Amino acid sequence: MRYVLLGLLLVVSLSRQHHVLAQEQERVTDEQLWGDLYGHYYISDKLEFYGDVGLRLLLEDPSWTQLYIRPSVRYHYRPILEFHGGLGLALTNNADVQSDKLEIRPFQGVKVGWPTLGGLRLVHYVRLEERLFFFTDEAWAHDFQLRFRYRLSTKIPLRRLSQERKWFIALSGEGFGEVGPDVEERFSNRTRFSVGLGHAVNETWAVGFHVVLQQSRTGKDAVFETTDYLFQLKMRRFVARRDYRNARRGLEEQ
């Protein structure tokens, strides 16, 4: 339980620090609501098809919305090593703010689950994304960007709530960085810190609620001037019974 308290204290401390900096530098602060549905299906013990669909809303301005879908595949090469690939499609409605945007995003990634410290498994996920943007108000003008992402995550089982580890705390930190020159996508460079409570409901469903602190900037040399507080509901559906091992491992498998 002490790990849970340490994780929560870390997130609260980071939130307070970013809040103070935002006040000092007059940064922009937004709140968003995210809803995500994930599906998992194993073709074999090593090959898995998965994907997610979701909706994102800006709470203070509901005219900003984003819809996305991301079919993916994962190869479980070793117990600690996985290879990922997929294609993301996202449509962003900016209303009167700027042009609406369609994004096509192939990606490739490697996930390493190592080391295990005191019963906690650290998971490293490195991903490269090829992002192609189309802007509707500019006669479908387009732009291209490469983006690198790295995420470190872990899950802490709440044994006092469930001896079968069906309840857990999920913690993660992630950094985003563009590769090459700046493009029209203004907030490509980001950092995220997340804390969430997850529950494996049964052999086919798992749910979780996450609070995410996100910092964004307009370019490599700019300061992180935009702060977003993201409230995210995740639901996972495991099609085959043997997938329940992933439900127990948690909601941060993606």
β-pair type (28-42, 226-238): parallel
List Cβ neighbours of 102 (8 Å cut-off, separation of 6 or more).
89, 90, 91, 92, 133, 134, 136
Rounded distance, CA 42 to CA 240, Å? 7
What pLDDT does 183 receive? 60
Q: Percentage of residues in the chain with pLDDT exceeding 90?
A: 50
List Cβ neighbours of 201 (8 Å cut-off, separation of 6 or more).
166, 207
List Cβ neighbours of 94 (8 Å cut-off, separation of 6 or more).
63, 64, 100, 101
Residue type, 99: S
Tens digits of per-residue pLDDT, 22-78?
Answer: 444 456 789 999 999 999 888 888 899 999 999 999 998 888 999 999 999 999 999
What pLDDT does 182 receive? 62
pTM surpassing 0.85? Answer: no
For residues 56 and 70, the answer to whether their CB atoms sit within 8 Å is no
For residues 136 and 101, the answer to whether their CB atoms sit within 8 Å is yes
Q: Which domains does the chain have, with CATH numbers?
A: 2-249 (2.40.160)
Mean pLDDT (the chain) is 82
